[in-house]
Copies of this chain bind each other. A is one copy, B any other.
Amino acid sequence: MTITERISALRSTMQQNDLDAYIIPSSDPHQSEYVAPHWEARSWLSGFTGSAGILVITMEHAGLWTDSRYFIQAETQLKGTPVVLHQQGPARGPEHLEWLGKQLPEGATVGIDGMLFSLSQNRTLVKMLHQYKLELEIQHDLLPAIWADRPPLPTEAIFEIANKFTGMSRADKLTQIRAKMTDQQTSHYLISALDEIAWTFNLRGRDIDFNPVFVAYAVIEATHAILFVDAKKINSELSDQLKADGIFVKAYDTVTTYLSALTADQPLLVDKATTSIGLYQHLNKKSIKESSSIVSVLKGIKNPTEIKNIRQAMRYDGVALTRLYRSLEKTLSAGETITEAELADQLASFRSEQPGYYGESFPAIVGYQANGAIVHYRPEHGTSATIHPKGLLLLDSGGQYHSGTTDITRTTALGPVTADQRYHYTLVLKGHIGVAALHFPEGTKGYQVDTLARQALWNAHLDYGHGTGHGVGFFLNVHEGPQSISSSAGRGSVALEVGMLTSNEPGFYRPDEYGIRIENLVLTAEAGSSDFGDFLKFDTVTLFPIDLSLVDKSLLTTTEIQWLNTYHKLVFEELSPLLEPAEVVWLKDKCKIFD
C-alpha cells in the first residue's frame, strides 16, 4: 500500500463513521514520546518518522504539523506523498486546530482515538473545537480496519535492575509513593506512563527502541500493587519476587474493567498529563481524583546511589568517546574516509565495550557539514554523507548503562576553521557556560535559566529553535520530566531541585552549511547558603573535552576561560585512569590549559 492508498482507505473509514476530519498524533496510550511499532500510525500513514508531529486528514487535505527541528526531515520524507507540511512555530501558519476551525463548516465532526490523548490534551481539544463550533468524537480507532500488517503489541521479556544501581528497592519506592498517596487522601493510584512504571518497580524492558521500558499500566493500592502487563513477559522467578513485594500481575487489557469497578469510597488518583481520555471515559467519575504525577517528581530527583552510578556511567561514556574521536582522527589523517552511519556504528561499538552497557539511549545524530544543521538528523547506511578532513562534525549521542543514561553532543573541526564557524561556536560555548556556571536561589525555575544560554547569540541576532535542556532518566528515557530549561513559562515551570539531571545544550544552525551544539548533562547540587537563602548550582557530569580549536578566546571572559580550564582538568582526571597510555597522551592534548 502506498501512502496515497493508506490515506484513501482512512478516508473511506472516516466516511463510514461520519467523521469530517481525523487527527493522528505521535503517541501511544501511555503518552510516550517514542512508541512501539504497533503505535506508529502517524508514520505509517504519512511516511514522516520524526518523534514529534500531528497528522490531520480531512476529505480534501492531508497535513502534517511539526516543529522547526523536523522541517528538513519532513520535507524530504513527505516528498511524493499527498501529505502537506505545515510548519509549527511563531510567525508560521495556523496550528492544526485553528486550521481545522477555518477549513471545516460549523457542526462538522473531528474524530480521534481517545487512547492516544491525555485528559489535559483532550480538554484543550474540546475547548478549541468548541470555539469553532466543531464536534469531537473520541471513540474512533480507525487503524485496525485499514492497517492489515500492523505490528503486534511487543512481547519482549522484562528484567530487573538491582538495588545497587537504583539505590532504592521497589518496596521502599512503594512506601514512598504510598506516603504521598496518604497526603492526597487516596487509596488507589493509576500509573500510565511507562518510564514511571519502570522506575517504580525497578524493572526494565525492550518494548520501545532506545527506551528501556515495557508496555503496562500499574495501580498502587494501600497494601499491594497490580501490574497490568502481558504475563508472558515476566518469568516465574521474577513473578515470585514481585509477589513477595505485594505486586500482582494481571493482563494488560483488563485495566479498564479493573478500574471501572472502583467505587466512590475507593479514590483513584490519575495524572492528567498521562492518563488517556479513552481510559478515563470508562472509569467511575466518583472515584477519580485528578492530580499531577507522584512518581514523576520522585523519579526526577536522583538519589545518592544513582548519582554515584551516573558519575560512573559518564566515565564509561567518556572513554568510548575518546576512542571514537581518536580513531576518527587516525582514519582521516591516514587519508581514509568514513560515512556518518559507519561512525555511528563505531561509536555504539566502543560504548558496547564498557561495563554495564545496554544500548544506545537514542539514534546517534552524526551530522557532517550541512547535515549538522538538521537538528534531529539520523544517518542511514547507503545515503549518509562521507566524512572528510575538513568542515564541522556534530555528534549527538547517548548510551544506556545499568549505571545510568548518557546524552552528549560535541561539535568538532575536522580541518581548517572559518571565522564564522569560530564565531558561532564561541557564542554557543558562551551560552553553554552561562548555564553551566550559574548559581541560583532555591526555587528558580527552568524558564528563568533559558535566556543565559541564548544571550550571546541574541546579541549577535542569532538564536536556535529548540529548548535548552530536558530532564534525563536513570537507565531510562533520555527525555524525562518534570523539569526543563525552556523559554516557555509552561514547559519551564518546574523548579530545578537538588538531584535533578538535566541537559545543557545550546546550539546554532546555519542551514545547508553546518550545525553547532555543545551538550553536557548537569546535576543540580547545593552551592551553599547566605543571608539571601539557599543557593544551588549545576554540576556538569558529562566528561569529554570541548574542541578548543573552534574557540575565539578573545570573545571569552576570564570567568568563562576559568570554567573551561576547570572542566578540562576534571575530564582529564576522571578519564585518564581508565585509558591506555597512548589515549592518555591524546586526551592530555585535548584537555590542555587554554591561556
A463 nearest in chain B by CB position: B532
Name A284-342 residues within 8 Å CB distance of B. none
Cβ of A443: which chain B residues have Cβ within 8 Å of it? 90
Residue A585 CB within 8 A of the other chain: no
Residue A381 CB within 8 A of the other chain: no
A460 nearest in chain B by CB position: B439
Residue A416 CB within 8 A of the other chain: no
Q: Which of A437, A529, A533 has the most CB of B within 10 A?
A: A533
Least CB distance, A4 to chain B, in whole angstroms:
35
Instruction: Kindly state the separation between the CA atoms of A452 and B91 in the bound complex, as whole angstroms.
Output: 26
Cβ of A533: which chain B residues have Cβ within 8 Å of it? 90-91, 463
State whether A441 touches B458 (Cβ < 8 A): yes
A528-B461 contact given A455-B452, A489-B489, A489-B493, CB 8 Å threshold: yes
Question: Which listed residue (B451, B461, B557) contacts A557, Cβ 8 A?
Answer: B557
A458-B487 contact given A451-B448, A451-B449, CB 8 Å threshold: no
Question: Which listed residue (B438, B448, B462) contacts A487, Cβ 8 A?
Answer: B448
Interface size class for chain A? Answer: 20 to 34
State whether A455 touches B438 (Cβ < 8 A): yes
Residue A195 CB within 8 A of the other chain: no
Q: Which of A458, A459, A487, A557 has the most CB of B within 10 A?
A: A458
Residue A535 CB within 8 A of the other chain: yes
Least CB distance, A166 to chain B, in whole angstroms:
31
Residue A168 CB within 8 A of the other chain: no
State whether A530 touches B462 (Cβ < 8 A): yes
State the copy count for this chain.
Answer: 2
A463-B438 contact given A448-B451, A450-B448, A489-B489, CB 8 Å threshold: no
Cβ of A138: which chain B residues have Cβ within 8 Å of it? none
Instruction: Kindly state the separation between the CA atoms of A529 and B487 in the bound complex, as whole angstroms.
Output: 20
Name A435-474 residues within 8 Å CB distance of B. 437-441, 443, 445, 447-452, 455, 458-463
Instruction: Kindly state the separation between the CA atoms of A527 and B434 in the bound complex, as whole angstroms.
Output: 23
Complex interface bits, A65-90 against B, C-beta within 8 A gives 1, otherwise 0? 00000000000000000000000001
Question: Which listed residue (B452, B460, B532) contacts A451, Cβ 8 A?
Answer: B452
Instruction: Kindly state the separation between the CA atoms of A441 and B448 in the bound complex, as whole angstroms.
Output: 17
Instruction: Kindly state the separation between the CA atoms of A240 and B148 in the bound complex, as whole angstroms.
Output: 80
The 8 closest A-B pairs by CB, nearest first: A489-B489, A461-B530, A463-B532, A461-B535, A448-B451, A557-B557, A439-B459, A440-B458
State whether B535 touches A489 (Cβ < 8 A): no
A527 nearest in chain B by CB position: B461
Q: Could you write out 20 A-B pairs with CB less than 8 Å apart?
A: A90-B443, A90-B533, A434-B455, A438-B455, A438-B458, A438-B459, A439-B460, A441-B463, A445-B489, A447-B447, A447-B448, A448-B451, A451-B452, A452-B452, A461-B527, A461-B529, A463-B532, A463-B533, A489-B489, A557-B557
Instruction: Kindly state the separation between the CA atoms of A437 and B528 in the bound complex, as whole angstroms.
Output: 30
Cβ of A493: which chain B residues have Cβ within 8 Å of it? 489
State whether B451 touches A489 (Cβ < 8 A): no
A90 nearest in chain B by CB position: B443
Cβ of A557: which chain B residues have Cβ within 8 Å of it? 557
Instruction: Kindly state the separation between the CA atoms of A453 and B277 in the bound complex, as whole angstroms.
Output: 43
Q: Which of A90, A450, A461, A532 has the most CB of B within 10 A?
A: A461
Cβ of A487: which chain B residues have Cβ within 8 Å of it? 448
Question: Which listed residue (B447, B452, B461) contacts A439, Cβ 8 A?
Answer: B461
A461 nearest in chain B by CB position: B530
Instruction: Kindly state the separation between the CA atoms of A459 and B458 in the bound complex, as whole angstroms.
Output: 22
State whether A532 touches B461 (Cβ < 8 A): yes
Instruction: Kindly state the separation between the CA atoms of A529 and B462 in the bound complex, as whole angstroms.
Output: 10
Instruction: Kindly state the separation between the CA atoms of A529 and B493 in the bound complex, as whole angstroms.
Output: 30
Complex interface bits, A461-502 against B, C-beta within 8 A gives 1, otherwise 0? 111000000000000000000000001010001000000000
Cβ of A455: which chain B residues have Cβ within 8 Å of it? 434, 438, 452
A489-B438 contact given A461-B535, A528-B461, CB 8 Å threshold: no
Least CB distance, A72 to chain B, in whole angstroms:
15
Cβ of A437: which chain B residues have Cβ within 8 Å of it? 459
Question: Which listed residue (B91, B440, B458) contacts A535, Cβ 8 A?
Answer: B458
Instruction: Kindly state the separation between the CA atoms of A166 and B22 in the bound complex, as whole angstroms.
Output: 52
Instruction: Kindly state the separation between the CA atoms of A461 and B438 in the bound complex, as whole angstroms.
Output: 10
Instruction: Kindly state the separation between the CA atoms of A452 and B438 in the bound complex, as whole angstroms.
Output: 11
Least CB distance, A466 to chain B, in whole angstroms:
13
Instruction: Kindly state the separation between the CA atoms of A450 and B440 in the bound complex, as whole angstroms.
Output: 13
Cβ of A528: which chain B residues have Cβ within 8 Å of it? 461
A434 nearest in chain B by CB position: B455
